[in-house]
């Protein structure tokens, strides 16, 4: 290969590289806004699930322990009394990566709602944290009956409702959550672990406990500023 051919080859590769880089940059700009909008819509839907009947008043992001911490203030009027509630982002590393969720609590520290925003856990194991259990029977499926598939909250997530964040959240191994063990778990401020995915379960409970501590610090900072 002579000098001219080498220069030509270098120019061609440079042009191809420039076009590829421009294309990637252009596609990134095209997708960034829709993705951000989709994430925001998902977040708003999640807030309505974890703070049922409450009205969001304000979103706050503060620095706690050197990291950004996002939480929301909410309220509702009940019997002419204004009740407050909060929601916050909780995140902890699971088996496959970070497990991020939104937690809603009332002014006594009881969990009003809990929903997982993102996770990359193992399908069939840790990923069952977002599994919605079906109430349909074999005959419902056989005869295409719509049945009674009323539970739209994943069983793993619904069991957190009613737990007290002022106490440690215990983990028991009682199989999949169901209404027959609900009172037993609440009495022990506990959840039942996902079978074969204790790491995921621990990551979620730890993220809530850490998030609750950060929320207390954030609210203390807010009071001091006032």
**90 is written with which tokens?**
């909780």
Q: Is residue 128 assigned to a domain?
A: yes
- Tens digits of pLDDT across the chain (226 residues): 566 667 767 777 777 777 777 777 666 666 656 555 555 566 767 898 999 999 999 999 999 989 899 999 999 998 889 999 999 999 999 999 999 999 999 999 999 999 999 999 999 899 999 988 654 444 444 455 554 444 477 899 999 999 999 999 999 999 988 889 999 999 999 999 999 999 999 999 999 999 999 999 999 876 655 5
20 in any annotated domain: no
Residue 38 placed within a domain? no
- Can you give the residue range of the structural domain that contains 68? 51-225
Report the pLDDT value the prediction gives residue 21, as an integer from 0 to 100: 73
**pLDDT computed for residue 34 by the predictor:** 56
pTM here is 0.75
Q: Specify the pLDDT at position 132.
A: 80
Q: What angle do CA 144, 148, 151 make, to 5 degrees?
A: 125
What are φ and ψ of residue 79, in 5° steps?
A: 55, 45
* 15 located within any domain: no
Residue 15 to residues 12, 29, 98, 156: CA-CA distances in angstroms?
5, 21, 39, 52
| Angular region, 78: left φ>0, alpha ψ -120 to 50, beta rest | beta
In a domain, 62, yes or no: yes
What pLDDT, on the 0 to 100 scale, is given for residue 137?
Answer: 44
Q: Are 189 and 163 within 8 A, CB to CB?
A: yes
Instruction: For residue 87, tell me if it sits in a domain.
Output: yes
The pLDDT, as a whole number, for residue 140 is 47
Report pLDDT for 46.
Answer: 84
On whether residue 176 sits in a domain, the answer given is yes
- Determine the pLDDT at residue 179: 87
Q: In whole angstroms, give the CA distance from residue 102 to residue 44.
A: 10
**Domains in the chain, number:** 1
């Amino acid at each position: 290969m002579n000098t001219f051919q080498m220069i030509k080859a270098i120019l061609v590769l440079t042009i191809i590289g420039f076009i590829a880089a421009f294309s990637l940059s252009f596609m990134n700009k095209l997708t960034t806004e829709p993705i951000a909008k989709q994430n925001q819509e998902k977040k708003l839907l999640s807030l309505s699930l974890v703070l049922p009947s409450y009205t969001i008043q304000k979103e706050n992001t503060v620095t706690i322990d050197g990291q950004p911490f996002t939480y929301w203030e909410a309220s509702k009027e009940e019997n002419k009394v204004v009740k407050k509630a909060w929601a916050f982002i909780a995140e902890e590393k699971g088996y496959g990566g970070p497990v991020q969720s939104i937690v809603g609590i009332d002014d006594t520290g009881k969990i009003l709602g809990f929903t997982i925003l993102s996770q990359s856990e193992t399908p069939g194991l840790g990923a069952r944290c977002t599994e919605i259990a079906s109430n349909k029977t074999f005959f419902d499926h056989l005869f295409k009956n719509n049945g009674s598939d009323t539970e739209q909250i994943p069983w793993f997530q619904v069991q957190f409702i009613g737990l007290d964040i002022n106490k440690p959240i215990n983990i028991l191994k009682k199989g999949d959550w169901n209404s027959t063990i609900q009172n037993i778990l609440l009495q022990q401020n506990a959840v039942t672990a996902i079978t074969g995915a204790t790491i995921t379960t621990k990551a979620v409970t730890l993220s809530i406990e850490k998030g609750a501590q950060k929320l207390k610090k954030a609210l203390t900072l807010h009071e001091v500023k006032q």
